[in-house]
Amino acid sequence: MIIKGGNIAWANMGDANASIPTPEPVISRPMFGAFGKAGSENSVAFVSKAALRNGLKETYGLKKRVVALSNVRQLTKFDMKLNDALPNITVDPETYVVTANGEVLSCAPANSVPLSRNYFLF
C-alpha cells in the first residue's frame, strides 16, 4: 500500500466478494489518491531558491507544491539522522572474511529469501 499525504494512492485489489484472505488474483491498482487533483495535492517538488524565484512552477505548469531548498551542498552523511556511520570495511581476499572497524561481520545462511520465488523482479 502506498500512502501519500494521508491518502491511499496505490494498493492491492482483489475479489470484493472474498470472505477469506487467499482469493486470487490480487493486483496492485491505483486508488482514489491517484486520481484527479489528488496526485498533485499529495506531492511536493523540491527546487532551488533561484528556480523558484525565476518562476519554475509557472514555466513547467506544475500543479504540485514547489518548495525551495537551501544549504543542501553543505550536507554530509553526518547530517543524516540514523545513517551517519562510516566504518572502515575490509574483505580478506583469501578467506572472504568481512570486517567493519576490526569487528568480524557474519550471519547464518538464510533459510528462505523473500521475493525469490513468488515475484518476478526483472
Question: Does the reported pTM lie above 0.75?
Answer: no
* DSSP H helical ranges for 13-91: 38-41, 49-53, 56-60
User: Which residues are bridge partners to 105 per DSSP?
Assistant: 98
pLDDT at 72: 87
pLDDT at 41: 86
pLDDT at 52: 94
DSSP 79: G
Residue 7 inside a domain? The answer is yes
Q: Residue 99: which residues within 8 A CB-CB, separation 6 or more?
A: 89, 90, 91, 92, 105
Residue 54 inside a domain? The answer is no
Residue 2 inside a domain? The answer is yes
- CA 19, chain centre distance (Å): 32
- Nine cell digits for residue 7: 491518502
Domain of residue 1: give its range: 1-42
Residue 33 inside a domain? The answer is yes
Residue 35 inside a domain? The answer is yes
Sort residue 63 into left (φ over 0), alpha (ψ -120 to 50) or beta. Answer: alpha
Nearest to 72, CA basis, from 51, 55, 54, 99: 51
Q: Which H helix or E strand runs over 44? A: strand 44-48
Number of structural domains the chain divides into: 1
pLDDT < 70 stretches in the chain: 18-19, 21-22, 117-122
